[in-house]
Amino acid sequence: MNKFDDIKIVLASSSPSRKLLLERAEIDFTVVVSGVDEDTPASFSPKQTVECLAERKADAVLDQCGDSVVIASDSMVSFDDLIIGKPADLEEAKKTLHMLSGQTHKVYTGVCIAYRGKKEVFSQFTDVLFYDLTDEEIDEYTESGESFGRAGSYGFEGKGVTLIKSINGDYSNIVGLPVAETLRKIKAIIE
């Protein structure tokens, strides 16, 4: 019997990637989208930023979720402690990929788990090394449209996987939710 069979779980995210990760882990859940403001102080580190946003997302949906375990998450890319958001346009996407070419950057994911007045907030990062990318590779990738709406101007679970030489850390963290650690923390919080 699955430890989560008797627990209702709510994912406070509309991210298809996060949904897919939980489905692959055979977790039953419903989705309640938070729609919160994602501005944070400029002085925040990447870790502080993702943890703050994950907690803000969880808090925004708690009243709608009754006796459910709420999972909220936020991910971002960081290079030399600079937070790299979603590109505004094609040129910004290309500029970002040129900067990341041949370099190692970090993907941070913050998670907030809330249940019956208890809350656990944590984050994880995974190092990602890009191949040295040619102008042609960057143009081809950005013109695919996959750069848009994605921190760091790439998606790990799509064509963006071809840009990556290696990772050091949790694969699912890069996709948007460190599933194994999240499920272990849920087990601890519901006991």
Q: Kindly report the CATH number assigned to the domain that includes residue 95.
A: 3.90.950.10
| Cβ–Cβ under 8 Å, residues 96 and 135 | no
Residue 2 lies in a domain: no
Residue 14 lies in a domain: yes
Q: Is the pTM of this model over 0.85?
A: yes
What residues are paired with 126 via a beta bridge?
107
What are the DSSP calls for 29-60, one per residue?
A: -EE----------TT--HHHHHHHHHHHHHHH
Number of domains in the chain: 1
Residue 4 lies in a domain: no
Q: Which of 37, 59, 63, 74 is catalytic?
A: 74
| Phi and psi, residue 70, nearest 5° | -105, 130
What residues are paired with 167 via a beta bridge?
128
Contacts (Cβ under 8 Å, ≥6 apart) of 68:
7, 8, 9, 10, 30, 115
Residue 162 lies in a domain: yes
Residue 157 lies in a domain: yes
Domain that holds residue 131: 9-190
Residue 2: its pLDDT value, please?
58
Buried b (16+ CB within 10 A) or exposed e, 75-111: bbbbbeeebbebbeeeebbbebbebbbeeebbbbbbb
Distance in angstroms (rounded) separating the CA atoms of residues 156 and 163:
9
Burial of 182 (0-12, 13-18, 19+ CB in 10 A): buried
Distance in angstroms (rounded) separating the CA atoms of residues 121 and 178:
13
Q: Is 74 a catalytic residue?
A: yes
Q: Mind listing the pLDDT tens digit of every residue in the chain (191 residues)? A: 356 667 899 999 988 889 999 999 999 999 999 877 777 777 889 999 999 999 999 999 998 888 999 999 999 999 998 899 889 999 999 999 999 999 999 999 999 999 999 999 999 999 999 999 999 999 999 999 999 988 899 988 789 999 999 999 999 999 899 999 999 999 999 88
